[in-house]
Structure 1
Amino acid sequence: MNSWYKRTSMQTKFFLRYIVLLVIVLCFFLVYINWIVIIPLKDDMEDEKRMLAVSINNQIDDYMIAQNQLSQRILSNKQVFNILAAGHISTTTEEGLRHSRILKDSMFQAIGPTMNIRDMIIYDVQGSRIAAFLGFNDTPDSLNSELKERLDSRMVHETSYVLHRENNGIVTFNRAIVDQNGSVYGYLTIQLDQARLNSPTGNVADGFALIFDEHYQLIAGMPSEEYDDSQLSQQLQQQSERNGMYVNKAGDYITYVQSEMTGWSTFVVTPRDSVLGPVNSVIRLSILIISGLLLVLFVYIYFSTKNLLLPIRKLRNQISRIQYNNLNVQVNHHTHNNELISLHEAFQDLLLRLQQSIEREKAAVHEEAKARNSALQAQIAPHFIHNVLYLISIAAQEQNYKAVTEMCKHLSENLRYIVSNATHHVSLTEELQYTRHYLSLVHAHYEDDLEWEIIADESADSIQIPRLTIQPFVENCIEHAFSKADPPWRIRIEYKLFNGLWAIEISDNGSGIAPEKIQSIMDNIHRGNTSDIGLQPDQQWGNMGIVNTVHRLQLMYRNRLFFNIFNHPGHEKGVTVLIIASLTDDFY
């Protein structure tokens, strides 16, 4: 092999060396994919299933807490104790009917307008039914003897309750009606709504969820055709821990969580493909990418090594003679000794000329950016002055001279801030102080209808931004966000600094922005970011303020800036403007 290697061409030697290096790199890549992508992805999927089981378990606990509170309202009603103390009276008598009506009224007041149970029954101390809120046909006339014994054993605990599953499948919440002295007056049974119990188990996208009681009887949920609830209950009894996950013979993932409050166990069965599907997809995609990469690199290495050995002298002569006005220079076939050193010297000379050209280009771009920044700032300032003068005129018409005086002082400070060194950047602290003046001017007009808050610490002194960066967003809140919203109107400005990034959040509780308008604003910003940044008036929400202000920040931070605008999620009203910038060059 050594003799054959010596006789091979230089192209073959280069090719073999590159192949060995490529194999080593691909091996490291496979290890990286396995440890950094595949294993964490599998762990995340398993954690998600555990969290799902815990979530279902917590929903059932919340439902039981609600029933406990409902029973407490019954036990706190003195009329219930008075009627139970009088003993059982037949409902065929006038007194018995009156007692039944009073008990039903008490149950109605305790349950309230939201009926989240099936029925509620009150038994006397002997376990005979006295009153039922709805009174279904399957409502028992007497309390189950076994259940009564369990309740009597817990009567010393005022907050004790017993969950019981009837023969007809109805699950009940039971507790003894006990006074402060521990005397038993009767028993309260709340028949739970089966639909409420089944509701949390229906939120499983892949697989199914079951709930078993402490006797491993099925309480809620419906297993799939491949599983039997008795089989799953046996598997649950074999587990030594209260919470955990295991894989059955079919490869499906079984997650179980036992509630400390009810003693019930939530059983979530997830098919193997649902858990490992994304992992297998990543594995298949990695194999496909590596196979394609190997094929491409084999071809590339072959032709690269072949072209690398072409006569270097032609390339050296071309580099040494190239000029800005002579890019199509012809190759000189004149030969030289030590061509590699000559090629290096020619390449260094080319780099020097390119360096000079780049420096001149950078200086021109810098001057252009300063000019654009001044133009954008000048475009915003007159708009602000017009709005403030309009506010002052309104206060003067209302003969509020003290407010006019204060607003003129604020306006004087703001005008001094605008016109002083207009092309220079300012600290974020100065910009926030300017915004406070502006909000004070606006607050003088809206009075108690407007509430605002600015949160920032001393680190804002080290952040540099263009002038009039925050005020346009605040002005948009006043003029647009609150036009269709009822007062009080709130504006919140919060600054944070962490890990070399600073962020500004500007939030309001207005009527929000239509999604298509948000998309239009972001499209205008994106177009300005991907091409030359110029003065582009925005005729959508907020006029020119948003797009032009973001363009001014882009002139300063370039690709170290992140901007987003979004409506608040859920039922919360309002819009948040988010600006994040990096103090270093490695933002992306």
Structure 2
Amino acid sequence: MHFQTKIICMYSAFILVIAIILGSLYNHYSIKQYEQVEYKNLKLVAEQLEQNLNESLKQMILITDYILSDIEIIQGIRALNVEESDNEAALNYRNDALVAIRLKLNMDYIRKHFYRVVFFNQRGDIIASNNEGNRIINPSQSTSDITWLKQVENTKGNPVIIDQHKDNWGLKSNVEVFSLVKKVQGSQLGYIEVQKQIEDLKQIFQIARENLGVVVIRDNGNIFYSNLPRDYDAFYQQIVRKLKKDKFIYANPESGNKEMIAFVYCEEAQSTILVTEDISEIKEASAYITPTIILIALCLVAVSLTYIVIVSRHLTKPIRRLREQMENTGLENLKDEISVEQSNDEILALQKSYQKVLTRLDEAITKEKKQSLLQVQAQFDLLQAQVNPHFLYNVLNVISNRGIICGDEVICEMCGSLADMLRYSTSNKNRQATLQEEIKYLEQYFYLLKSRYDYKLSYVIDIQPEVKNQIVPKIVLQQIVENCINHGFENRVGCMEVKVKAWQEGDYWYVCIVDNGEGFKRDILAQLEEKMEEVKKCLESHTSNIQLEIGGMGLINTYARLYLLYGEQLVFELKNKTSGAQVLIGAKRIG
């Protein structure tokens, strides 16, 4: 079997399997997403219905608050609570109260927006709006016949929603209503009932989609409203206790179908609003997803197969010329463009030839890396070797004079410090040291300086434990301090103060060396900055002799050694303070 045929067969099988797997997964995902979207739509419907219900209840509560805040109505209610008397004045006072309440309850807003608003008390007084025609009330209706009155007794004036019931006050007709009742605060002053017809309730829960069911269940388990068959009430009364936010599909044993149920809780009505949809209708609406995905998958398979056939023709044509060019490839012609005429050769020869190219390329790159490393290492050694010997000569003179004059044991300590310094500075085993080792070396240096300058020199070293293990080139800190002593106090008398502080800030460590000397002269500081820029370019080019470019010791030498180690991550700043100079070095923290 030709290689091209193998590629086509293998790729076809692979694409077919992938298309089936991805198509199935995407089909499942799309259906689930459709269900999620449908659930969100049901949730929005439920929230809209909750808003409608809240608005209606707030309207009813508002009218009860309005009535009970009216001074004339409250005075009239209290007048009706006075013991009845045959006294003509008392009867007139009572009649005036009835008239005042009746007038207030029959205002236009109440008559238009409510079926009936009723005030009644246990003395038998009944005053209602719309008391005319078919809505005329039965004045002899006894409050003891009202079954829901017990729900209102101990509510402390809070409004109570009464489920659907027959109008208790109608003389000619007893229509289905739902109402909100509020007890008038005081000793048996009475009650205000605001009624709306069931048609108003249907209007509240009216939705555009006829296939959706709406069920409203009170906290006491009663069905407040439902547009579904009454046979389903028991199921919804039971399921309302098991509703979960992460579950929205439930089996309805009454209908024998699964239903998607979205719900919201209405605090105002103390009710749960359920919006339901039969799963079979959802599946029917999403039936287009599967054939659409199959069609897309087939198109992708066809396009992929066409593409692989075209590509395989180019890949499988012999490439002798390519093999020859690859075998002759070296560092000098790696960038040359390879131009190959299509032919019929096997892939194995190409694999071997390419492997040879990779081997030679790897050898060449390795050789180049070694040469670069040796060059950098030689540059580093050269810079480190340029340690100023003048300090050692001065210290030896001090030790000699001290031994001759004093003959005390201090000379032993000085010799020990000097020996440690010589051992540290002349060791080539390690080209770098930790800040802790550099600080120790610096302390020995300060000890010897104190032996020379005595009270004329004071120093402070403050190093945080977090930066003790950071790596720097050897003898970096001593060179900077030596520069302070040699150049910072040439024309200055008084005590020489040097402060060395090392700390960590974010991902960087810093060492700051400050003296109270003369500071950098402007022209010297400009020359140093210019020289550091030249050194930086020299080190980056890897083409110049660093010794010739840098020459000498001091801050430029220190900068070069640090730059060789840290590159662009190096922080190296020279500046003057109010009194003296400051040198700040730092780099990105390691470890």
TM-score of the alignment, normalized to the shorter chain, above 0.5: no
Larger Rg: 2
More relative contact order, 1 or 2 (CA 8 Å, 6+ apart): 2
